[in-house]
Amino acid sequence: MGGTTAMGIWKVHAKIARYAMEHGKHVAIEVPAAMNLTEIWDLINTSERTRRHCMQLENCVYDFFELTTLNMAQQGLFGEILHAEGAYIHNLEDFWDEYWHDWRLLYNRDHRGDVYPTHGIGPVCQALDIHRGDKMNVLVSMDTKAVNGREYYEKHRGEAAPDFQNGDHTMTMIRTEKGKTIMIQHDVVNPRPYNRLYQLTGTKGFANKYPVEGYMVDASKVGELMTVPSAQGRREKVDIENLSAHSCVPEDVKQALMEKYKHPIQKDLEQTAKKVGGHGGMDYIMDYRLIYCLRNGLPLDMDVYDLAEWCCLTELTAISIENGNAPVEVPDFTRGGWNRIDGYRHAFAE
């Protein structure tokens, strides 16, 4: 066996991964792969020294909307991407009991900051070519006071928690080397609909996944659009002459755009992924791509530096919050190599 996976409570992910690489195995780690900078640098150093792949199992980058929108961005449909947003907003009230010995609730009790950032930041980092032409330079984070989190903890555990650490809502702003901005949010205790945001704002267009999927585009960038094939295989030209500057494109235009820019991975795997399932098919595509790249000797879709950049928010946001929302430098985990690759791309065997 050439590889293994690292799963369990968050605090053991990095230890399992390091052990696997030390014993000659490529490793894929459940999110978040590392909880602090010490663990992050340990994984980077071990991966580089052993020449073993170390990939974080971030499934949200394989969501159908995210994949298609990434392809649109890579094809220039939105112009230059200037700002992106992501989040993990998911009321866990119905799920806290499923975590063994309350490990996740206890972690929230003990830590401030965005403790679960990868679902939100992963897809936007790919769209912004992070460490493939740009890098995150500085972040500022702030949180609300703890209300629902503390209340649930005290009710569930039967013990007071006057120093419950994790604020009910945490938001983080990031600026990149190339002058782009990112906003990331975390909220797992308030009564809000599930939301990962996933917004891209470009000089020629806009994409938004939650709460309603939609696009705004410059008609001059679109070209000819055709409808999705009917049951009889017929396609018709879609009218793009009257796109509004104040609302998303009509549904027929959106569907035509998503058909035109459907990601090659999605074209190959969409039907099987929907049948197999796993978060709507994201998990299947993630596992497929991991195995595909390893079998074909290709760079993985996510490398150890992605892992580092996405996971570092956990500690860095806490440092910012605990120091009066101070700006905090984001390390260059590539040690100067962030600009050697020109843009993020998936690898395919010829």
Quick check: is 206 in a domain? yes
pLDDT confidence tier of residue 219, bands split at 50, 70 and 90: confident
- Count structural domains, the chain: 1
Q: What is the share, in percent, of the chain residues with pLDDT greater than 70?
A: 95
Quick check: is 6 in a domain? no
For residue 325, count other CB atoms closer than 10 A to its CB: 14
Quick check: is 14 in a domain? no
Buried/exposed 244-283: b ≥16 CB within 10 Å, e otherwise: eeeebbbeebbebbbbbbbbebbeebbeebeeeeeeebbb
Quick check: is 136 in a domain? yes
Residue 331: asked if its preceding bond is cis (omega within 30°), the reply is no
pLDDT confidence tier of residue 227, bands split at 50, 70 and 90: low
- Rounded to whole angstroms, the Cα distance separating 309 from 321 reads 19
Question: Span 224-246, mean pLDDT?
Answer: 69
- Tens digits of per-residue pLDDT, 41-63? 999 999 999 999 999 999 999 99
Instruction: Give me the pLDDT at residue 225, please.
Output: 73
For residue 240, pLDDT beyond 80: no
- Tens digits of per-residue pLDDT, 66-97? 999 999 999 999 999 999 999 999 999 999 99
Quick check: is 350 in a domain? no
Question: Span 258-283, mean pLDDT?
Answer: 94
For residue 213, pLDDT beyond 80: yes
CATH number at residue 325: 3.30.360.10
Q: Mean pLDDT in the chain? A: 94
For residue 237, pLDDT beyond 90: no
- Residue 167: domain span: 60-279+304-329
- The answer to whether 48 and 24 have CB atoms below 8 angstroms apart is no
